[in-house]
Structure 1
């Protein structure tokens, strides 16, 4: 063991190794704790019992710390105060100190979370001591440390609209998130919530009230705040797909409510009422309101705007509706949070101040990695035309800053220009300073999963990690209220499921690590992640890096090499083995998509040529169809293998949709091309 932070994940801010060790003798241990920290003390007792199999005595009193001492024959001697010379307790509410001396192990904190995080850190230290073969198992080396988070809110998004896991897996995930120091859950139920007053919406296999109560109890045990997420305007296909609610569609589209129909807001209010009943302790409710792309299309909305003469716009329509939604949440004693994109998409950043007092804003940008050559404005990505000469492959779209009206160029430049305009600017979302001038509570939102493609099995890991690093550092520099890592399971409610939960742990770990300690170096993070999360085995990281190379170079061989690395790997934890299997499945899926594209391209031309000349004995086609047949067999194997893994933590109907939708389009294309030839597909 070393005297640096290497064994701690996330890395701690102050730590030092000291001479000597705390000895756990056969008589047992006394754990003394304040009432506030009793659940933490219970955790500690269970862990010590499993590691050392010694008697444990729990004592609850008014002491300001958790202290672990030897169980002596004289009980009073066991619980006496000793001078442990701890570091100064950090002022942050989640700050803590851990100290190990010859006589005592002590955790000091202000809050339940602080005690919990202190124990998680001490547990890592004890785990390292147990692993050292040359050191007796019953000795824990002395040390002292102090730690605290850089960001107050470190959230993660639980999206239940697709690839819905079993509740047992959800609770396991919450426990693991707590160990990563995630302190907030943004929970998007959609049709999984058992709404009583709104018929048809609840999915037949959705959660029960008992399921939700168990999940919230686990979150509370893990020191987590829960923010329910209720869509108020767009992304409501899960409601409007039902005939009962079809009259609320904006211009007949199931994606969005009509903001002028009184029934739209009423459905939202009914959802709020029922959600609050099961979430009485939640401070915030997220009301969505993003990507309202059909705003103002129907005749009712256009009529509302015409009633205002030349003064009413789509922006007025949007604000009129979301203000009512936010005010209703505020009347229920909760604070509304809403997404920010409609303000820069509709060029009305200056109107955020019109939101009801107490409303918070959450700014999302999933491709922001800092200094950028494009800016998000009016729903599009704008770059300088100079990139056509400099490097056209370095721009996301063909939208030019120079083509914007001068007033809009000036508005963008005023917040984006950092000395390299128009080639580069600060970041993709430079409007946050303008937000801060109008509203006090602003969160950031990165993305660890679900931002890349509608038919993806695993996110582009390095893109996701760079995005969470940007947001963590930017949030600290800009004094934001925190960052939530979104993790989407569908692009919208009626699209297919994407990127299952179990593929997110590498970028999600980065979000947790950097939100706690933003100064972590990139190489240090990989070392920490491998040492702690991956149980010291470098194979997982090597496989991920090969997959990244395969995606960047579009080479199937890298994916093949990654899954070969992961074949027959053995890990000390069942959950880690499951993660490795999901990575292997991800590598195989990406490999198959590249190989299918090549194989189909080699034979699809027959659909045109066959009408021009006979191709009954074409050796090239014969070879091509043989390759395609082999790929179809591999696809069948991938579906069976992946289904088996997913059935460990998802229900059968969810697994079927998630897995069977992924390679379906390639199978259909193969069948179509087969119909144009006499070569068999077996």
Structure 2
């Protein structure tokens, strides 16, 4: 039996004693130094009868009822992140850990084994731990994102993949009280919903890091008449002037509210990336500071405010790339700088350069890969997977060589708030859980991930697929495989249907001689029978398939998004093809007749 787990454990030893069944019917004892409702709930969800006992010391254990505790087993993961030992034999089960999170992840591994084996598990020993202390996913609540009910499901799901941190970019979705004008009129969380989000994260050993942009990407704030005057320039709708009276006071007030909504969060991410127009207004020029010095001076004020709120501030690195050694020396050492570099042939070299620059200045650092980002394809319908896999692996290599303790695997919904949305969040689970696999285990097997993901996430057994040459498929083939294996998918089927709908759209819109690539010939040759016959034929085939794809996409999106988000996404994909169609109708006046003839 294959132990197709995600993340892949550090050490697994199976024993040839046949499969064990009926484990959920066993009576077990939960031993903890203090009561933990999270461990109680997860144990009760797996086993029919759980007896709980508080024990002295720092060990956590779950064992078959009546089995003597062997707490020395927990020492095998001493000094490891979230480590656990799981031992399963025909007659008994033992799970030991030195932390509540370690025991939780041991139970999650058991849960995954039971699900993958339909209740049957081989006798085995697993000794496992996380190579990274901080393993973060990212939830971007700009433009298009899941419904609240689905968000809660996704947050809970993260724990199955042993992700322990979630950065949430709320934008205008927080239930602001004092600054109520910042609340989105339709999609802002209620206070009850937000508390439920935080509780769901806590219940699954996930730490929420709130992200509050504080310098750039402030479209949703600087659009309000009360704040328009704080823009760097009237045209820079997203960027704050740091030298304008009122700029810091506005951000300080916002940070106070954000911090108050997250009393248990250690970090507060301030953003501060891509402030492209910084230094161009009269106030900045009159300050006498360089662009970088002006940036650092304002960041230091934000850092001081954040620390006063009991939070550790984070910022992105990019505005420091060209700062001098002397300028970086002025940066407040209480800030953590997250270096995000998502690709390019110099990715690792550029990352090391800025990492070393910051380390030499005594600045705490962390890395950030991306599971969904621009990738020179703003109209992507799902992540550009070969770039994302390479970027994740590059960062896994970097955190080892540079001895970093965490990676934030960013997941962008769009390039900026007013931009076209990328493919839906659901399409990003493949690279997100690939990142989780390698954040937990630096040496997880890349080649087997596709098979492990199809089994774990989609309930697909490779041996049951109608594929002749499985060994020819590689980790980057996931998206293109989905239409072929869709009939065999039993879990997360809606995600598969979404990916299939995107591919069915891409075929007529981008891949199979899309009309816009040769529409110009109708303008150049208005009297050519050959050209017009060709255009009529392409219209009949291409636009017929495109409209079918639109109907299919609308059906799938209606199950995942509220109506206004569905409308926005559909328009982002079909606005241009429909413009081309309108242009064609001006050139060829009998298309309405063709529509009638073809139905």
Q: Could you say whether these structures have the same fold, taking a TM-score greater than 0.5 normalized by the shorter chain as the test? A: yes
Q: How many pairs were matched up?
A: 582
Alignment of 1:479-498 (within 5 A): 479-498=403-422
Look up the match of 2:240. Answer: 257
Look up the match of 1:201. Answer: 182
Alignment of 1:150-299 (within 5 A): 150-205=131-186, 206-252=188-234, 253-299=236-282
CA contact (8 A) 1:84 1:104 kept: no
1:651 aligns to 2:562 (yes or no): yes
Look up the match of 1:660. Answer: 571
1:189-238: per-residue Cα shift (whole Å, max 9, x none)? 00111222224321111211111111110100110111111111111111
Q: Which of 584, 590, 593 matches 1:673? A: 584
SS at match of 1:255: coil
Alignment of 1:9-20 (within 5 A): 9-18=6-15
1:565 aligns to 2:489 (yes or no): no
Look up the match of 1:356. Answer: 332
* Gapped regions of structure 2 (runs ≥ 5): none
CA 1:563–1:39: 2 relative to 1, 3 Å: closer
1:12-55: per-residue Cα shift (whole Å, max 9, x none)? 11221246576759985133232354422322222234xxxxxx
CA distance in 2, matches of 1:191, 1:262: 23
CA contact (8 A) 1:335 1:358 kept: yes
Q: Which of 45, 52, 60 matches 2:53? A: 60
Structure 1 residue 258: Cα displacement: 1.3
Structure 1 residue 514: Cα displacement: 0.6
CA distance in 2, matches of 1:349, 1:626: 64
CA 1:119–1:158: 2 relative to 1, 3 Å: same
SS at match of 2:272: coil
1:313-346: per-residue Cα shift (whole Å, max 9, x none)? 11221111111111110111111100111111x3
CA contact (8 A) 1:93 1:110 kept: no
Q: Which of 85, 88, 105 matches 1:100? A: 88
CA contact (8 A) 2:166 2:206 kept: yes
CA distance in 2, matches of 1:540, 1:461: 24
Look up the match of 1:340. Answer: 317
Provide the alpha-carbon RMSD of the alignment.
2.9
Structure 1 residue 522: Cα displacement: 2.1
Structure 1 residue 484: Cα displacement: 0.6
Q: Which of 533, 549, 556 matches 1:622? A: 533
SS at match of 2:217: coil
Structure 1 residue 491: Cα displacement: 0.8
Structure 1 residue 440: Cα displacement: 4.4
Alignment of 1:407-446 (within 5 A): 426=349, 430-446=353-369
1:48-100: per-residue Cα shift (whole Å, max 9, x none)? 34xxxxxx143232163332325xxxxxxx36547996782332241111112
CA distance in 2, matches of 1:15, 1:549: 28
CA distance in 2, matches of 1:479, 1:265: 35
CA contact (8 A) 1:158 1:185 kept: yes
CA distance in 1, matches of 2:215, 2:143: 20
CA distance in 2, matches of 1:630, 1:58: 66
SS at match of 1:143: strand
CA distance in 1, matches of 2:280, 2:336: 28
Structure 1 residue 433: Cα displacement: 1.6
What's the TM-score, normalizing by structure 1? Answer: 0.79
CA 1:241–1:24: 2 relative to 1, 3 Å: same
CA distance in 1, matches of 2:391, 2:11: 27
CA distance in 2, matches of 1:24, 1:454: 50
SS at match of 1:485: strand
CA 1:94–1:28: 2 relative to 1, 3 Å: closer
Look up the match of 1:409. Answer: none
CA contact (8 A) 2:448 2:475 kept: no
SS at match of 2:64: strand
CA distance in 1, matches of 2:448, 2:488: 25
What's the TM-score, normalizing by structure 2? Answer: 0.90
1:604 aligns to 2:523 (yes or no): no
Look up the match of 2:108. Answer: 120
CA contact (8 A) 1:603 1:625 kept: no
Stretch moving more, 89-98 or 267-276: 89-98
Alignment of 1:67-146 (within 5 A): 67-70=62-65, 78=66, 80-81=68-69, 88-130=76-118, 140-146=121-127
CA 1:596–1:621: 2 relative to 1, 3 Å: farther
CA contact (8 A) 1:219 1:226 kept: yes
* Gapped regions of structure 1 (runs ≥ 5): 50-55, 71-77, 133-139, 306-311, 376-424, 551-558
CA distance in 1, matches of 2:451, 2:36: 32
CA distance in 1, matches of 2:441, 2:31: 28
